[in-house]
């Protein structure tokens, strides 16, 4: 329950955001000072320290990004997302999550990734959702119950994918309006984003779209079908015109490596209005998947180095889903920080791990989070001390097979269920090959951190 103190803090934050829009450079530090006061549990002290250091630098790309956000994003969306994510999800919610972790004896995730539907108007090559029955849906009432149960546990951040989640856009808007204390991120192909939907997004204020893109026109149309690139450009243009913040996601493969890691591509995404990105390494999920799309060691290292470089030079928040594991202590799946609920209600450790012991249509959310497979995950995390090798499927096989068998979990794929040993057969040699590159890369990373720390101590 959000108390009087929270509402006072939210009102003060609203006032500060008003000042921020008028003079971003002057008032950014005031936002950090307020959040320090709200963070009574000192959960994010090191992050606030880092932000304050960045704010001291002139011509900093992060200051440029935050300035753009305050000036370009619709005021209602900015205020709602800012307060819901920082106050509700990251501070108030996290305190509740910690209490419930102690109460129930297992982890409670920071976010739930949910599929409202498996229906989709695309058939993308290599899509993990292709092995789900296309007629599956979670009803409005089931989704409403999930969000209600989640908030009782301290979860205020929800991600939706599919299928194409915006096939259910009417229900999503209705749910976002009802649960107006939460943040909803929607992974979408962009085809159903139009002027009317953008107006609705400005009204509810708590939905952020993420557009799936594979590179330039040839790479995107090659994987997502002819005309997909034009759909994406149109969707981005209408969101930018309506001041709706959005990001992009890309599935990083052998086919699009050079494209999506080019200066031309990231600059174009920034120019079109993207404020953040998600880079996901291709996973060979499902029977018959094209394993040739799995990124080579050279390409994975290029991904790591490029994203790190862009963080120092580009006004966009780039996330590297694999190599950023060091910032969260390894793999976040299995309910440790997140989990996936598919459109049939199966509660899976990860969007890429199609095995489960629990279905949300049969048990409560807290019971699903305590399922045997999740406990196996949490018992084994991190799966590797080298956190450039975080994944139990891609980087540390046969760990996934051991956990699935120990927990008695079953495949959740419906078109063609995949035996976990068959999955391991596709990744075990790949993991060994990547390890040879990842080990010196991790040592280099640790040495760099140590050097920065020593320099900081000397300066202090």
Q: Which burial class, exposed, middle or buried, applies to 411 when counting CB atoms under 10 A from its CB (0-12, 13-18, 19+)? A: middle
Domains of the chain: 4-72 (no CATH), 94-370 (3.20.20.70)
Q: DSSP labels for 131-175? A: GS-TT-B--HHHHHHHHHHHHHHT--EEEE-SS-GGGGHHHHHHH
Whether 154 and 93 have beta carbons less than 8 Å apart is answered as yes
The structure tokens 């202090």 sit at 460
CA-wise closest residue to 44 among 113, 4, 94 = 94
170 token code pair: 């009417």
Whether 137 and 118 have beta carbons less than 8 Å apart is answered as yes
Q: Does pTM top 0.75 for this prediction?
A: yes
> What span, in angstroms and rounded, lies between the C-alpha atoms of 300 and 441?
11
Letter string b/e over residues 340-378, b meaning 16 or more CB atoms within 10 A of that residue's CB? bbbbbbbbbbbbbbbbbbbbbeebebbebbbbbbbbbbe
End-to-end Cα separation, the chain, in angstroms:
42
CA-wise closest residue to 284 among 166, 400, 122 = 400
CB-CB neighbours of 266 under 10 Å:
21
Taking CA 332 as the corner, what is the angle to CA 329 and CA 335, rounded to the nearest 5 degrees? 130
**What pLDDT was estimated at residue 198?**
98
**What pLDDT was estimated at residue 266?**
97
> What span, in angstroms and rounded, lies between the C-alpha atoms of 142 and 319?
30
**What pLDDT was estimated at residue 1?**
46
Strand-pair category, 355-356 with 317-320:
unpaired
Mapping DSSP onto H, E and C, the string for 18-55 reads HHHHHCHHHHHHHHHHHHHHHCCCCCCHHHHHHHHHHH
Letter string b/e over residues 300-337, b meaning 16 or more CB atoms within 10 A of that residue's CB? bbbbbebbeebeeebbbbbbbbbbbbbeeebbbbbbbb
Whether 161 and 351 have beta carbons less than 8 Å apart is answered as yes
Whether 292 and 253 have beta carbons less than 8 Å apart is answered as no
Per-residue pLDDT of the chain in tens (460 residues, 90 and over written 9): 456 666 667 777 777 777 677 777 666 777 777 677 777 777 667 766 767 777 777 678 988 898 899 889 999 999 999 889 988 999 889 999 999 999 999 999 999 999 999 887 666 555 555 555 567 899 999 999 999 999 999 999 999 998 899 999 999 999 999 999 999 999 999 999 999 999 999 999 999 999 999 888 776 766 667 778 889 999 999 999 999 999 999 999 999 999 999 999 999 999 999 999 999 999 999 888 899 999 999 999 999 999 999 999 999 999 998 999 999 999 999 999 999 999 999 999 999 999 999 999 999 999 999 999 999 999 999 999 999 999 999 999 999 999 999 999 999 987 789 999 999 999 999 999 999 999 999 999 999 887 766 665 555 5
Residues 6-12: contacts with CB within 8 Å, 24+ apart?
Answer: 6/87, 6/92, 9/34, 9/38, 9/87, 10/83, 10/87
Whether 253 and 126 have beta carbons less than 8 Å apart is answered as yes
Q: Which burial class, exposed, middle or buried, applies to 231 when counting CB atoms under 10 A from its CB (0-12, 13-18, 19+)? A: buried
Q: Reading across the β-sheet that carries 246-252, which strands appear in turn?
A: 317-320, 274-281, 246-252, 207-212, 183-188, 157-160, 111-114, 338-341, 347-348
Query: Where is 318: in which H helix or E strand?
Result: strand 317-320
| Integer CA distances (angstroms), 187 to 137, 160, 165, 358, in order | 16, 6, 7, 24
392 token code pair: 């139990």
Whether 438 and 388 have beta carbons less than 8 Å apart is answered as yes
> What span, in angstroms and rounded, lies between the C-alpha atoms of 273 and 213?
14
Q: Which burial class, exposed, middle or buried, applies to 88 when counting CB atoms under 10 A from its CB (0-12, 13-18, 19+)? A: buried
Q: Which burial class, exposed, middle or buried, applies to 135 when counting CB atoms under 10 A from its CB (0-12, 13-18, 19+)? A: exposed
Handedness of CA 293, 298, 302, 303 (dihedral sign): positive
CA-wise closest residue to 185 among 166, 165, 205, 160 = 160
């Amino acid at each position: 329950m959000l108390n009087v103190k929270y509402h006072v803090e939210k009102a003060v934050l609203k006032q500060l955001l008003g000042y921020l829009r008028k003079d971003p450079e002057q008032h950014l530090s005031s936002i950090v000072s307020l959040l320090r006061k709200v963070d009574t549990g000192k959960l994010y002290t090191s992050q606030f320290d880092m932000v304050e250091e960045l704010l001291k630098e002139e011509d900093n790309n992060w200051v440029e990004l935050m300035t753009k956000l305050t000036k370009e994003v619709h005021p209602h969306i900015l205020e709602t997302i800012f307060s819901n994510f920082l106050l509700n999800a990251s501070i108030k919610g996290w305190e509740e999550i910690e209490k419930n972790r102690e109460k129930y004896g297992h982890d409670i995730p920071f976010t739930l990734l949910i599929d409202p539907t498996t229906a989709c108007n695309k058939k993308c090559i290599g899509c993990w959702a292709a092995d789900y029955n296309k007629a599956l849906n979670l009803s409005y009432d089931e989704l409403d119950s999930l969000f209600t149960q989640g908030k009782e546990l301290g979860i205020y951040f929800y991600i939706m994918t599919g299928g194409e989640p915006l096939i259910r856009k009417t229900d999503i808007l209705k749910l976002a309006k009802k649960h107006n204390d939460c943040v909803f991120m929607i992974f979408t192909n962009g085809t159903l984003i139009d002027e009317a939907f953008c107006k609705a997004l400005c009204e509810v204020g708590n939905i952020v779209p993420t557009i799936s893109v594979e590179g330039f026109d040839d790479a995107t149309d090659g994987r997502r079908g002819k005309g997909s690139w034009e759909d994406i450009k149109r969707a981005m243009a209408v969101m930018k015109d309506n001041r709706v913040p959005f990001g992009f996601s890309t599935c990083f493969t052998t086919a699009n490596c050079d494209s999506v890691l080019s200066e031309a591509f990231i600059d174009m995404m920034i120019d079109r209005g993207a404020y953040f990105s998600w880079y996901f390494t291709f996973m060979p999920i499902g029977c018959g998947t094209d394993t040739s799309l799995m990124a080579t060691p050279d390409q994975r290292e290029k991904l790591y180095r490029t994203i790190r470089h862009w963080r120092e030079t580009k006004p966009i928040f780039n996330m590297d889903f694999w190599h950023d594991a060091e910032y969260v202590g390894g793999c976040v799946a299995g309910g440790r920080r997140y989990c996936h609920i598919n459109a049939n209600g199966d509660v899976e450790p990860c969007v890429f791990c199609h095995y489960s012991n629990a279905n949300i249509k049969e048990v409560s959310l807290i019971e699903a989070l305590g399922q045997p497979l999740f406990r196996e995950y949490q018992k084994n995390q991190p799966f590797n001390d080298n956190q450039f090798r975080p994944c139990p499927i891609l980087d540390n096989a046969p760990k996934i097979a051991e956990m699935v068998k120990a927990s008695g979990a079953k495949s959740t794929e419906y078109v063609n269920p995949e035996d976990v040993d068959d999955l391991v057969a596709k990744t075990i040699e790949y993991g060994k090959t990547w390890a040879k590159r990842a080990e010196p890369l991790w040592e280099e990373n640790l040495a760099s951190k140590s050097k920065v720390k020593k320099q900081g101590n000397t300066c202090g």
